Each structure stands twice: as structure tokens, then as C-alpha cells.
Amino acid sequence: MKESEKRLLFLAGGVAAGIVGLILSKGLLNRQHELERNEAALTAELEESKSLLLERPLWNAREAWLNKNQPVAKSDSDADTEAFQQLVAKAESSGLKVEKKQYKEPSKNEYYHQFEDQFTVKGNLPDVFRWIYSVQSPKDFRVVPKMKITPDKEDPTQVVCDIYFWRWYRAPAQGA
């Protein structure tokens, strides 16, 4: 092999080693950036965990309040009947006419059972709002996720309100 061929071969080997070195260094840099992102994510998660641990007494107090105040339904029909009758009685005592009422299928998980009632009531707008506000309080575990109020076509002083109520009961297994 001639001297020039040796130099050319040595130069080609050096270029190849340089390219391999660049490729490996790029891979190592990518790995380093990935590790830095993971470290930042873990640091954020650690800080979140620390803040949650600091809030533990607050959440324990909330859990105790729920265990003390959230109603437990003996059965689905009892829960539906109880929630339904309360809403209808309160609407009628507020001077509203209940035009339509309907149970919806309950939604259940291991922590609570959610019952839904749908109503269409007719009355004066202030009376409708008083009724809605009167049946919602933290101890009632009842909310209004959706409602639609429209003026009555026959009597413009009245409104027709289509409203949904959700009420949450503690799951029976947790009620004991």
C-alpha cells in the first residue's frame, strides 16, 4: 500500500469516527434533555405532593363533614322518591305549577350515587328562582347542572322553566 493510500485510509477512518462521535453525542444530548425534563416533572410532582400533604387536615375535615352530613339512600327507589317529593312539595308551596316531572337513570360509582330529576315548572320568574335557591344548599347535596327558562306563550307574566336537579347520596357500603 502506498503512503498516499495509507493517509487517505487514515483520513477516511478519522472522518467516519468523527461522524460516529457526532451521532453518539447527539443521542447522549437527547437522553440528557429527556432526563432533565423527567427531573423537572418529578420535582413538580414532589412539590404538588408536599402541598397536598400540607392540606391534609383540611381534606380530613371535609371528609368528616361528608361522612356526617351526606345522606345514604336505603334503595334507589327511596332516593328517587325522597328527592322527588321534596322538590315537588317545595315547588307547589312556592306557588309554582309542576307541569312535567321525570326520574332519570341514576349514575353510580364506589363513592356516591347521583340521582337526576327533570322538571318543567311554570310561574313567576322570582318565584322560580326562589324555589331553585331554596332547594340547594350544601347539606342538601343537590345542584342544578342545566336549566332553560322561556317566557310562557299564553301568559307573558309567567315563565316556563325546564330544569334538571342532581342529588348525591353516599354509596351504601360507605354509609355504615
User: Which tens digit of pLDDT belongs to each residue from 120-145?
Assistant: 999 999 999 999 998 888 888 888 99
pLDDT of residue 173: 57
* Vertex 100: Cα angle to 97 and 101 (nearest 5): 110
State the pLDDT at residue 80. 66
pLDDT for the residue 20 = 85
> How far apart, in whole angstroms, are the C-alpha atoms of residue 131 and residue 134?
5
Assess if CATH 3.40.50.300 describes domain 73-175: no
Q: What is the 3-state secondary structure (H, E, C) of 67-84?
A: HHHCCECCCHHHHHHHHH
Cα–Cα distance for residue pair 113/97, rounded to 1 Å: 29
Which element (helix H / strand E) includes 28? helix 3-54
Per-residue model confidence (pLDDT) at position 107: 82
Within 10 A of 30 (CB to CB), how many other CB atoms are there? 10
Write phi, then psi, for 65 (nearest 5 degrees): -65, -45
The list of the chain residues with pLDDT below 70 reads: 79-80, 173-176
